[in-house]
Structure formats: structure tokens, C-alpha cells
Structure 1
Amino acid sequence: MDKIKEKLEKLRIEADNSYARATKAEEEIKQLKDELARREQEVQGLNNKVTLLQEEGERTGGRVNELTEKNRALELSTEQAERRAKQLESEKTELERQLEEMSKKYEGVREELEKTLRGLEEL
């Protein structure tokens, strides 16, 4: 009978130990599930941030493309304006040359006219 009592006592102790281990394992599982839920929320938050950053990147990329096109258009306009300025500068130089030439001719004609008028007055 003592052996049965000892055996029952061993089984009870073993059952208590198994129950304690099971309780501890359940607590660890609960903690791990809580940790997993927390990490999943963290991952979801990070995914949301990634999505927002991607959208912002797409908007920024579109804006960069738009600004690049505007820059190209401005560069083209600048080049055209510079060519036109060079052309106008050439025309100005040519007109100044012609003015100087005509001024000289005018002076020559005026002097000749004055000589002629003086000559006529002397007559």
C-alpha cells in the first residue's frame, strides 16, 4: 500500500510539475502572441510609411520631370534670345558703320556745297 501511495505521490508531483510547465508554456505563448501582434502592428505602420514615401516619391518624380521640361524650354528660349541678341548686335554694328560712312559722305557733300556757294558768291 505504501508503494501505491508513493507511486500516487510521485504521479501527483509529476502532474503538478507538468501543470506548472504547461502553465508556464501557456504564459510564454501568450507573451509571444502579444509580441507578434505588436511587431505586426509595427510592420503595418512601417508599410504605411513606405507607401506614403512611395507616393511622395512618385509626386516628386513627376514634379522633377515637369521642372526638367520647363528648364529645357527656358534653355531653348535663352539660346534663341542669345542668337537674336548676336544678330541684333551685328545689325547695330552694320548700321553704325553705314551711319559713319554716310556722315562722311554728308560732310564731303556739305563742304563741296559750301565751296560751290562761296564760289558763286565770289562771282
Structure 2
Amino acid sequence: MDKIRERLTSLRAEADAAIARAETAEDKVKKLELDVLQKEQEIASLQHKNQTLEADVDSLEAKLTEHKGAKEDEETHRSASEALTRKVDLLESELDRSEKQLKEVTDKLRQTDVKAEHFERQITRVEQERDQWEKKYEDAVDKYNKSKAELDELARAMEDI
């Protein structure tokens, strides 16, 4: 009986040790399950964060593409603006030259108008002189014809004598 008691004591000790090991194992399992649950929550959180970051990356890539397009448009507009600025400068210089030429032509036109008025006055004076000379000529022709007629009459009268 002593052996049985010893055996029972030893079995009880083994059972107590097994129970203690089982409790320790259960505590470890609970801790590990809790760790697994925390890790799963962390994984879910990280997956959500990853999805958010991927969406942000897609959004940023779209903005980058948009900004690249805007930059290209800006460069195109800048080059067009520079070309237009050069054209405006060229047109302004041509306008300055044209205005200078217009001023010169206007001055020449005024001088020509003055000369034309001078020549018109001379023509008017010369025409008046011509008209006077024509009148004098007509008067002289009339006098000549009268004198000739008188001379012819005088010659006939002398022939009749």
C-alpha cells in the first residue's frame, strides 16, 4: 500500500505538474491568440493604410501627369509669347519707320502743294498776260485791218485821180 500511495502521490504530482504545464500552455496559447489577434488587427490596419497610400500615389501620379502637361503648355505658351513679343517689337520698329516715312512724305507733299500753288499763280498770271497780249494782238490786227482798209481806199482814191 505504501507503494500504491507512493504511486498515487507520484501520479498526483505528475498530474499536478501536467495541470500546471497545461495551465502554462493555456496561458501561452491565450497570449499567442491575443498576439495573433493584435497582429491581424495590425495587418488589417496596415492593409488599409497601404490601400490609402496606393490611392494617394495614384492621385499624385495623376497630378504629376497633369502638372507635366501644364508645364509643357506653359513652355509652349512661353515660346509663343516670346515669338509674339519679337513680332510686336518688329512691328513697332516698322511702325516707327513708317511714321518717319509718312512724316517725310507729308513734308514733301506740303512742299509740292506750295510749289503747285506758286505755279498755279504763275500760270494764272501768265494766262492773264496771254489774254492781254491776245487782246493787244486783236486790237493791233483790227488797227492793221483798218489801216489797210484806209490804205486800200487811199490807193483806190489815188488811182481814181
TM range (shorter): 0.7 to 0.9
- Decide which moves more: 93-102 or 106-115: 106-115
Report the counterpart of residue 82 of structure 1 in structure 2.
120
Give the one of 105, 129, 144 matched to 1:91: 129
Aligned residues: 122
For residue 154 of structure 2, the aligned residue among 96, 106, 115 is 115
Runs of 5+ consecutive residues of structure 2 not aligned to the other structure: 1-38
2:85 pairs with 47, 51, 58, which one?
47
Aligned to 1:32: 70
Pairwise CA distance, 1:106: 4.4
Are 1:65 and 2:103 an aligned pair? yes
Q: Does 1:2 align with 2:40?
A: yes
Counterpart of 1:115 in structure 2: which amino acid? L
d(CA) in 1 for partners of 2:91 and 2:52? 57
CA distance in 2, matches of 1:94, 1:82: 18
Task: Rate the CA distance shift 1:3–1:91 in 2: closer, same or farther, 3 A.
Answer: same
Q: Which amino acid aligns with 2:55?
A: N
Paired with 1:53 and 1:27, the residues of 2 have a C-alpha distance of: 38
Once the two structures are overlaid, the 10-residue window that deviates more, 35-44 or 24-33, is 24-33
Using the aligned pairs only, state the percent identity.
22
- Structure 1 residues 100-121: Cα deviation after superposition (integer angstroms, max 9, x where no partner): 33344445555359838x75xx
Taking a change above 3 Å as real, the CA distance of residues 31 and 108 of structure 1, as seen in their structure-2 partners, is: closer
Q: Output the CA distance in 1 between the equivalents of 2:51 and 2:143.
A: 134
